[in-house]
Structure 1
Amino acid sequence: MVNIRELDPSASPLAFYGAELRRFREAAGLTQQQLGDIVYCSGSLVGQIETAKKLPTRDFTQCVDAALGTDGALLRILKLVLQSQLPSWFRPYADMEARASYIYTFQAQLVQGLLQTEAYARSVLGVMQHDKLEELVAARMERQLILERSKPPLLWVILSEAVLYQTIGGPGVMRNQLAHLLSFRDREWARVQVLPFAAGAHAGLMGSFNILRFGDDPDIVYDEGYEPRMTANPEELRSRSLRYAHLQAAALSVEDSAELIARVMEERYGEQT
């Protein structure tokens, strides 16, 4: 059945996307079913997206932009749609992360979000969130697009060795996740180090944190945890920068870290495909 429910385009980014999709479709003289046939989906799906009942995917948006000749208009709106799916408290950090020139992160329990595979992210986000899980996963994958820029930020990641052994989503998911980490070995703008158990007491015992650096704006520290917080306080930045320097010194080299990741991938998750 054709869905003709009217929307207020100003109600949300998702409603704006739906209204624009309908406007472009009608200007092209196509029904929902005809557009669906062109982009290989059902007319019902087109109707659900036009009425903000379903979140559009990046693949759908790219196909529709091409089919309707919109010069990427819907893809630009999609970015706003996916940002709106992030928790309100996380959006300021995501905005700063997208503008950062340097990203330094220490992770005590999980792979950093920018380096998570989709399956790993779904397992992490699905622990306590079920109603909007697919929307949250899509938003996390969208954040990772900053790594595909022609000039991506310098990304330096230090992972506790515990991250490699904490089985998230099952052995198969973990094997693919560790393989994904290894895929960054040849990227000159990305460095992954592992802080080994042998390091004992270390400067990251207080928990995971990120440092963002910019060309002109003040640096920012983002503390993760049950009550995440972001600050540009100079003393806090100095303290965290010192902690990070100690963590870099205590961690395995990039080469030895890659060897450890590969060894854990084969020994612990090796029989998975």
Structure 2
Amino acid sequence: MKLLEARGLVREYGHVRALAGADFDVDAGEVVALIGDNGAGKSTVVKLLSGSESPDGGEIFFEGNRVRFGSPTDARELGIETVFQDLALAPHLDPVRNMYLGREIMRPGLLGRLGFMDNAAMRDGSRKAFDDLGATVLDLAGPIGSMSGGQRQGVAVARAAAWASKVIFLDEPTAALGVVQTRNVLDLIRRVRDNGIGVVFISHSMPHVLEVSDRVHVMRRGSRVASYRAADTTMEELVGAMTGALDGSNGAEK
């Protein structure tokens, strides 16, 4: 029984079929990479499995039970969090406020009922979350918009990890980052996995995919066409499956 599984997902946008019977699965404590050319359907799979959109067909199972996500809130209630490419951070707020955005801790008693937040508790919780994942967030008080791309990515991943108990989707988390910042994000992915959370890693970087992933799902034309154990495949094989150059890439795991 997989932690999160999709069978035969279909999603259409007008006359365009983004997903044509796509399958997917991820288990606890593993990194599953989702790769494919632009338009292969990767981001659409993430939107359906995170509750951002609803499928036109197919089934989604969570811990063996069939589920239907009407909104991202439904997925979050099951412990599923997503970090999209835009990070969904508020640039004018500091890392602490971004960490607890929409989940603010209120002061106990009357002060909480009057709308006063417990800033000390949120600051302590944020620092612990960043430290646990090794996120390089140096300033908890400054606006996040003034921080480096790697630090903003660290905040977004740490926020997701703090609230996720089951699965995290990371959509191109190393895009446009420098070498050191990329290394920090890859280390964050390993730490999240080691905490027993399933990580879905979408990336165009084959070296990064092979470095941190346990399994690799290859998508082409809206379907999963192959699934490999990362330790048993090569960059050439993955590219061949993505482009259709390899015969027999029918989704059977190696």
The TM tier, using the shorter chain, reads under 0.3
Greater share of helix residues, 1 or 2?
Answer: 1
Larger-Rg structure: 1
**TM-score, normalised relative to structure 1:** 0.25
Q: Which has the higher strand share?
A: 2
Query: TM-score normalised to the size of structure 2?
Result: 0.26
